[in-house]
């Protein structure tokens, strides 16, 4: 079985969204993140970039990593809640 690394998966995802039509990408963002979270990141990014425009590349990298960390945090919390509910259901 060919297991992809986290970097491989990230590259695959970036290549996929890079080729998406803007309307399809927007629909994906709204579906997966919701408009409120999308607006939060837009505002956060604008604020971050306006504070230090010379560090746009570093800030972009930081924002991408923040998105990744938020996602892993969500997954861990979802798994923890599901584990709690499952053990409660069998108690």
pLDDT of residue 19: 96
pTM for this prediction = 0.64
Q: Output phi, psi for 5, to 5 deg.
A: -80, 170
pLDDT of residue 86: 52
The pLDDT averaged over each successive group of 10 residues in the chain (91 residues) is 87 94 94 92 89 89 88 88 57 45
Q: Could you tell me if residue 34 is left (phi over 0), alpha (psi between -120 and 50 degrees) or otherwise beta?
A: left
Give the span between the Cα atoms of 19 and 10, in whole angstroms.
14
Give the span between the Cα atoms of 57 and 45, in whole angstroms.
12
pLDDT of residue 91: 45
Query: Could you give the 3-state DSSP secondary structure of residue 91?
Result: coil
Packing angle, helices 35-51 and 56-90, rounded to 10: 150
Q: Are 63 and 41 in contact (CB under 8 A)?
A: yes
């Amino acid at each position: 079985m060919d297991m992809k690394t986290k970097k491989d998966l990230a590259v695959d995802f970036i290549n996929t969204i890079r080729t998406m039509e803007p309307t399809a990408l927007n629909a994906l963002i709204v579906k997966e993140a919701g408009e409120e979270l999308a607006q939060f990141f837009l505002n956060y990014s604008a604020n971050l970039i306006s504070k230090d425009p010379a560090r746009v590349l570093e800030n972009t990298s930081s924002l991408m990593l923040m998105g990744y960390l938020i996602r892993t945090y969500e997954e861990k919390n979802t798994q923890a809640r599901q584990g709690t509910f499952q053990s409660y259901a069998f108690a």
